């Protein structure tokens, strides 16, 4: 028999990562997909899908509310994050400490940050509700909008801006006609990194509303909890969330590719 020699190459470093993805990403997704089509008796059925899409379950209403909150959160983060990223990029040489200040909160677990935010609201006697949820969402996901925007704005060739100014464009025109189109890839990345976790979150809404307001992630957690123990419906909701995430990523990727083609032309 011929002996197969194992060559220690760069590909060998990828094997542990592939095994990790297989065990902790692919296998759980397959289990979720199987449970979505299994009934309580262990037989194949579409009852879980019927229950989710029925008006009685309220699943579609919760999904719609989560999508709206995710869009509003993303929009607020973009409105706040773009000027901040533009300022940090404009004074990049002297603003490294400010960039570090935006990164520091990401080093702390988001549950700890959210619990601390709740403690501040309670100390200020602010009523927990939709307003506090929106604040917590923006607070937690704003760095994910600023960082890709800052990276893109820093990498813009300054000669384009100088050329626009030489042609008589004022500051607003330079920003609107030159900087904004060139930073569209950063906007797409920031929107993707903010919107996807915002629509699937559950801890932020649960903590900052004292479990009074349920979003889609809260509903999935509830169906998988021991109290409800409805793996079928929870798996359907997880499957629907996975489809939404895939669609969002595909749309963002197509938008980014179109802009790259336009800039190349």
Tens-digit pLDDT profile for residues 38-81:
887 778 888 888 888 886 667 788 888 899 999 999 999 999 99
Structure tokens at 170: 């004022």
Predicted TM-score of the model (pTM): 0.82
What pLDDT sits at residue 221?
82
CA atoms within 13 A on the CB side of 73: 35
What pLDDT sits at residue 185?
84
Tens-digit pLDDT profile for residues 233-264:
888 888 888 888 888 888 877 877 776 666 55
Helices (H) and strands (E) in the chain, counts: 14, 0
Q: Count the helix, strand and coil residues of the chain and give each as a percent rounded to the nearest 5.
A: 80, 0, 20
Q: Structurally, what CATH architecture does the domain formed by 77-264 represent?
A: Orthogonal Bundle (1.10)
Model confidence at 15, pLDDT cuts 50, 70, 90, reads: confident
Q: Where are the domains of the chain?
A: 77-264
Q: What is the DSSP string of 31-46?
A: HHHHHHTB-TTS-B-S
Spatial CB neighbours of 187, under 8 Å, sequence gap ≥ 6: 78, 82, 149, 152
Residue corresponding to tokens 């509303």 = 209
Q: How far is it, in rounded angstroms, from Cα 49 to Cα 43?
A: 14
Q: How far is it, in rounded angstroms, from Cα 201 to Cα 66?
A: 9
CA nearest to 115, candidates 95, 98, 139? 139
Q: How many CB atoms lie within 10 A of CB 222?
A: 18
Tens-digit pLDDT profile for residues 88-126:
887 766 667 777 777 787 788 888 889 999 999 999 999
Could you report how far apart the first and last alpha carbons of the chain are, in Å? 58
């Amino acid at each position: 028999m011929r002996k197969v020699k194992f060559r220690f190459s760069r590909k060998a470093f990828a094997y542990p990562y592939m095994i990790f993805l297989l065990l902790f990403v692919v296998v759980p997704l397959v289990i979720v997909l199987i449970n979505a089509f299994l009934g309580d008796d262990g037989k194949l059925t579409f009852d879980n899908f019927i229950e989710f899409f029925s008006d009685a379950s309220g699943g579609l209403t919760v999904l719609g509310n989560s999508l709206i909150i995710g869009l509003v959160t993303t929009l607020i983060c973009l409105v706040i994050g773009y000027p901040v990223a533009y300022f940090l990029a404009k004074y990049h040489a002297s603003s490294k400490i400010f960039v570090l200040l935006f990164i520091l909160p990401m080093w702390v677990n988001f549950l700890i940050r959210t619990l601390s935010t709740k403690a501040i609201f309670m100390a200020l006697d602010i009523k927990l509700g939709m307003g506090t949820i929106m604040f917590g969402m923006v607070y937690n996901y704003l760095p994910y909008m600023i960082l890709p925007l800052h990276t893109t704005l820093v990498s813009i060739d300054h000669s384009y801006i100088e050329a626009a100014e030489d042609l008589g464009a004022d500051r607003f025109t330079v920003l609107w006609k030159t900087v904004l189109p060139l930073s569209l890839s950063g906007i797409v990345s920031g929107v993707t990194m903010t919107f996807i976790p915002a629509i699937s979150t559950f801890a932020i809404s649960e903590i900052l509303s004292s479990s009074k307001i349920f979003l889609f992630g809260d509903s999935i957690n509830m169906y998988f909890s021991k109290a409800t123990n409805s793996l079928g419906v929870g798996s359907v909701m997880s499957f629907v969330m996975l489809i939404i995430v895939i669609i969002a990523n595909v749309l963002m990727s197509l938008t980014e590719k179109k802009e790259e083609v336009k800039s190349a032309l």
